Structure 1
Amino acid sequence: MRVLAQMAMVMNLDKCIGCHTCSVTCKQAWTNRPGAEYAWFNNVETRPGQGFPRTYEDQGRWRGGWTLNRRGRLTLKAGGRLRRLLRIFANPRLPALRDYYEPWTYDYQNLISAPSGDDIPTARPVSLTDGEPATITWSANWDDNLGGGPELAVHDPVLRAMSERIKLEFAQTFMFYLPRICEHCLNPSCVASCPSGAIYKRAEDGIVLVDSNTCRSWRMCVTGCPYKKVFLNHRTGKAEKCTFCFPRIEQGIPTVCAQTCVGRLRYIGVVLYDADRVLAAASEPDERALFEAQKQVLLDPADDEVRLAAARSGISPDWIEAAQRSPVHKLIFDFGLALPLHPEYRTLPMVWYIPPLSPVVDALRDTGFDGEDAANLFAAVDALRIPIEYLASLFTAGDPEPVRNVLCRMAAMRAYMRDTTLGGTANESIPVSVGMTGPQMRDMYRLLAIAKAEDRYVIPRGHAEPSDVHDEGCSLDVAGGPGMGSGRVDLFTWDGKSRPAGLFRERDAT
């Protein structure tokens, strides 16, 4: 058993309101630079929908992730080394700019410099790639709140593969929001795809990063990532991706997207996993069994044998203790709520999701029934206007049972806590019906509903001194980038409480 630590995240989709605050703050922090205008390390998609870039889930087209060959051995969907070598100068499996969108600004100068006349001057859109006038036809969130529209939903690769009955139901359904970042997978196909070895997975925390000095612009990583979360900076010719805000993580501070999330739906913590089991789990022949296979890779940090093996692997005691308090481990194992995104890609993703339930209550209330009653909620789970089969296609490779179990547990928590909160006698049969106890359900409620930041983000500090982290600088320290070590104020590691010199204009003493 070779134990490694992994920083992981869980997002509760039941609380996402689609405000895009996480996307905007991530954009301002990481990709607000020339050449990266079209890149969104964090984006929020409306589902059903095409996603960003468009139809990124269509692996028949993009050939991302892993597959099993005829001998049952794991291989990249884009092909082996020879095939990638033959395509190294002309890779045809890449999204074009139109699949992302052409970034633009507006000609505000025309509003100021236009001569006087009868016509009111306008600020026309201008492309940020070539500076020419642009026609806006698509963007990263162009189909916001239009998930149920038949004109757009028909292009959803997940929905396209489902039955006509499901498609018909979606013509009348609500939508939900799906925030996405890099999955920082245990078996990352982007790392295996890179010919130059520029993408690597850090042994100390599992964060997947790009070494800009090694990157040679082959773009095989863009093809290899099934989530299409690796971007090419067309100015520098280097690959860029979500860094899990590693300068903040190293100092025990949550990622920018998590700390600014309005709905408080993100949880960050350490999980321990057995690196020797990764290949076997990713090679599981049955796609529907991949979810459970991935869970078997993760270890119980409370187990004495695991703790000893972790210590032998060089994992420090404070990281082991953080893994024991990890909200991610609790949501995956103790409460059984979190599910991985597209486990069938065989990358073993480490950003997990809690499926949405809220509209069940609204639908029941509209029909005159008590929307919080346990009996009504359990009966409604299988009658969701958003079919369980669709959620299963996103999170469990098509197996509806794990999704049904999650939704039933969330419905049970609502009914159980309503009785408790309103002063009635708690019905202990409700948690029992979903395989839990009353104290477990109350703990689940506290974590999902009222948890403080210290409970949602359990992040041990890196053991490098903060001054060392600053002195190393940042590979994105160019043209208005993060600017670590450049003499500017470091907003990445600012705790929001102190007053660093240079952040605010000093008042005149006179």
Structure 2
Amino acid sequence: MKVMAQIAMVMNLDKCIGCHTCSVTCKQAWTNREGTEYMWFNDVETRPGVGYPRGWEDQDKWKGGWRRTAGGRLVPRQGGRLATLGRIFSNPNLPGVNDYYEPWTYEYDTLLSAPASRTTPTARATSTLTGQHKDTIAWGPNWDDDLGGSMETLDADPVLHQMNLEVAKTIEYTFMFYLPRICEHCLNPTCVAACPSGAMYKRVEDGIVLVDQDRCRGWRMCVSGCPYKKVYFNHKTGKAEKCTLCYPRLEAGQPTVCSETCVGRLRYLGVLLYDADRVTWAASQKDERDLYAAQRDILLDPNDPAVIEAAKADGVAHSWIQAAQASPIWDLITRYQVALPLHPEYRTLPMVWYVPPLSPVVDAVTASGSDGENHKVLLAAISQMRIPMEYLAGLFSAGDTAPVERSLRRLAAMRSYMRDVFMGNDADETIPEAVGMTGDDVRAMYRLLSIAKYDERYVIPTTRTGMPPGITELEGCPVDYDVEAFHGAAPGATTPGAAPAGTRTLPLEVL
């Protein structure tokens, strides 16, 4: 067993309102320069829909992710080294500008500089790629939402085809929900394996997948290899770019920009410990429906004394072990088993997980005149919910409805159980028992999913553990710092002016 640490994220889809604040703040922080106009490291898709880039889930077309050979080996779906070498100068498996969209702006200066006239001046749309006027805007990074979840793109949803599903197309029976997406920072990333120059790499200390801009040669095999299409090509620099999980912020104990600015507070960040020796085993399961369970199986209990000793022996810092023990990610994935990975059938072992949406079934039950919080009604209605369970299974469990149903039943049980608690009634312990939980588990899960504070949602260790050499010996140092806040106060302790618990502050000279 080789223990390694991984920063992971969970998103609660019941809370996403599709405001796109995460997308805008990410773009302002990371992709606001020339050559990145079309890049959205974070986007929010409307489901059902074709997503961004258009139809990214169609791996028969894009050849992303891994495939398992008859002998049990994993090879990139786009081919091995010889196949990569054969098309290194002409890669056919790349989304084009029409699959992303041609970014545009408007001639705002026309509105400001136009002379007085009887007619209102017009700010025409212009392409940011060519500078030419665009008379028609036909596609964008969130076109499904712009269309209001219309039928124009519904039938092209790859998940509906994969699960052989047909959904109602009348407005009173249709459904939609939002799916925020970032790079998955996978345990078994195809983009790293596909890169001929070795520019793509996975950091040892925290598992974040990055691009070495000095080594990147612009072959774009990483774009093809990523099944989530979260690697982009900068046509100005000739380099690949992608979500960095805001690692400079994480190193200072701060959450990612998308997490920090999320209006719905639906994102959770934390540390997971996993057995690196079993990554290939987990990704090589013969039956795709076993991939979710296998991935969960290689995640290690951070409170297990044997795991703690092995982690220390493998060089995992004590602060990271403590962070893993307090991780909301571990609780949502393993303790409560309500978080699921996105498309585990790609065999990349993604590390951004999702709590599936329950709200539509509650709304449907309430609209029918029944009690939308009654556990008997809710648990019976889950299999008939407006969002087909098979659709959610196609997204989060390789088509297996059992994990999705378990997650939804536990979320429904939490709603019913906590209503009795807040109404002053006696808690009905048969409700959590019906879904394999205890009352204490349900209360803890409710706190985490509903009212968790900043430090409970983001448990992030820093990479620096001490003061810079020699700084404490300086006399009359103009830099004022809080030693207790820097080294980390005792649990529960507060220091005036210190950062929130679970974070660290750095002196100005270090920053």
TM-score (structure 2 length as normaliser): 0.90
In the TM superposition, residue 162 of structure 1 has moved relative to its aligned partner by 2.9
In the TM superposition, residue 70 of structure 1 has moved relative to its aligned partner by 2.9
Correspondence for 1:87 = 87
Correspondence for 1:236 = 237
> Does the CA-based 8 Å contact 1:149-1:171 persist in structure 2?
no
In the TM superposition, residue 327 of structure 1 has moved relative to its aligned partner by 0.2
- What are the residue-to-residue correspondences of 1:93-492 with 2, within 5 Å? 93-134=93-134, 135-144=136-145, 146=147, 148-166=149-167, 172-463=173-464
Tell me whether 1:41 sits opposite 2:41 in the alignment. Answer: yes
In the TM superposition, residue 3 of structure 1 has moved relative to its aligned partner by 0.5
Q: In 1, Cα distance between the equivalents of 2:369 and 2:316?
A: 55
Correspondence for 1:24 = 24
Deviations 1:7-52 (A, max 9, x none): 0000000110000000000000000111001000000000000000
- Unaligned runs of at least 5 residues, structure 1: 469-493, 502-510
Tell me whether 1:70 sits opposite 2:70 in the alignment. Answer: yes
In the TM superposition, residue 168 of structure 1 has moved relative to its aligned partner by 6.3
Q: In 2, Cα distance between the equivalents of 1:138 and 1:256?
A: 26
Percent identity of paired positions between Structure 1 and Structure 2:
62
Distance 1:199 1:171, change over 3 A: farther
In the TM superposition, residue 146 of structure 1 has moved relative to its aligned partner by 4.7
**Secondary structure at the counterpart of residue 33 of structure 2:** coil
- Unaligned runs of at least 5 residues, structure 2: 470-498
> Does the CA-based 8 Å contact 1:46-1:146 persist in structure 2?
no
**Secondary structure at the counterpart of residue 6 of structure 1:** strand
**Secondary structure at the counterpart of residue 91 of structure 2:** coil
> Does the CA-based 8 Å contact 1:181-1:242 persist in structure 2?
yes
Aligned AA (1:2): K
Q: In 2, Cα distance between the equivalents of 1:83 and 1:436?
A: 50
Q: In 2, Cα distance between the equivalents of 1:231 and 1:465?
A: 37
Moved more, 101-110 or 224-233: 101-110
In the TM superposition, residue 72 of structure 1 has moved relative to its aligned partner by 2.2
Q: In 1, Cα distance between the equivalents of 2:70 and 2:2?
A: 29
Q: In 2, Cα distance between the equivalents of 1:300 and 1:164?
A: 38
Deviations 1:106-162 (A, max 9, x none): 111222333444432100011111111123111111121756532211111111223
> Does the CA-based 8 Å contact 2:167-2:174 persist in structure 1?
no
**Secondary structure at the counterpart of residue 223 of structure 2:** helix
> Does the CA-based 8 Å contact 1:107-1:125 persist in structure 2?
yes
Distance 1:81 1:136, change over 3 A: same
Distance 1:72 1:170, change over 3 A: farther
Moved more, 69-78 or 445-454: 69-78
Distance 1:358 1:240, change over 3 A: same
Distance 1:169 1:298, change over 3 A: farther
Q: In 1, Cα distance between the equivalents of 2:345 and 2:252?
A: 34
Aligned AA (2:277): D
Q: In 1, Cα distance between the equivalents of 2:319 and 2:202?
A: 21
Deviations 1:47-102 (A, max 9, x none): 00000000000000000000012322100000010010010000010000111111
Q: In 2, Cα distance between the equivalents of 1:179 and 1:388?
A: 19
Deviations 1:365-422 (A, max 9, x none): 1111111001110011011011000000000000001000000000000000000111
Distance 1:467 1:80, change over 3 A: farther
**Secondary structure at the counterpart of residue 375 of structure 1:** helix
In the TM superposition, residue 360 of structure 1 has moved relative to its aligned partner by 1.4
> Does the CA-based 8 Å contact 1:49-1:153 persist in structure 2?
yes
TM-score (structure 1 length as normaliser): 0.90
**Secondary structure at the counterpart of residue 27 of structure 1:** helix
Q: In 1, Cα distance between the equivalents of 2:171 and 2:86?
A: 43
Q: In 1, Cα distance between the equivalents of 2:466 and 2:119?
A: 61
> Does the CA-based 8 Å contact 1:268-1:328 persist in structure 2?
yes
Correspondence for 1:472 = none
Tell me whether 1:10 sits opposite 2:3 in the alignment. Answer: no
Distance 1:467 1:188, change over 3 A: farther
In the TM superposition, residue 453 of structure 1 has moved relative to its aligned partner by 0.5
Q: In 1, Cα distance between the equivalents of 2:245 and 2:389?
A: 30
Moved more, 106-115 or 255-264: 106-115
Q: In 2, Cα distance between the equivalents of 1:373 and 1:91?
A: 55
Q: In 1, Cα distance between the equivalents of 2:221 and 2:467?
A: 34
Aligned AA (1:350): M
Aligned AA (1:203): V
Q: In 2, Cα distance between the equivalents of 1:464 and 1:129?
A: 45
Aligned AA (1:247): P
In the TM superposition, residue 171 of structure 1 has moved relative to its aligned partner by 8.8
Correspondence for 2:481 = none
Distance 1:282 1:167, change over 3 A: farther
Tell me whether 1:53 sits opposite 2:48 in the alignment. Answer: no
**Secondary structure at the counterpart of residue 459 of structure 1:** coil
Distance 1:441 1:250, change over 3 A: same
> Does the CA-based 8 Å contact 2:196-2:221 persist in structure 1?
yes
Q: In 1, Cα distance between the equivalents of 2:295 and 2:367?
A: 39
Aligned AA (1:124): R
Deviations 1:427-457 (A, max 9, x none): 0000011000001110000000010010000
> Does the CA-based 8 Å contact 1:251-1:466 persist in structure 2?
no
Q: In 1, Cα distance between the equivalents of 2:466 and 2:49?
A: 44
> Does the CA-based 8 Å contact 1:374-1:430 persist in structure 2?
yes
Q: In 1, Cα distance between the equivalents of 2:34 and 2:86?
A: 31
In the TM superposition, residue 169 of structure 1 has moved relative to its aligned partner by 8.7
> Does the CA-based 8 Å contact 2:151-2:169 persist in structure 1?
no
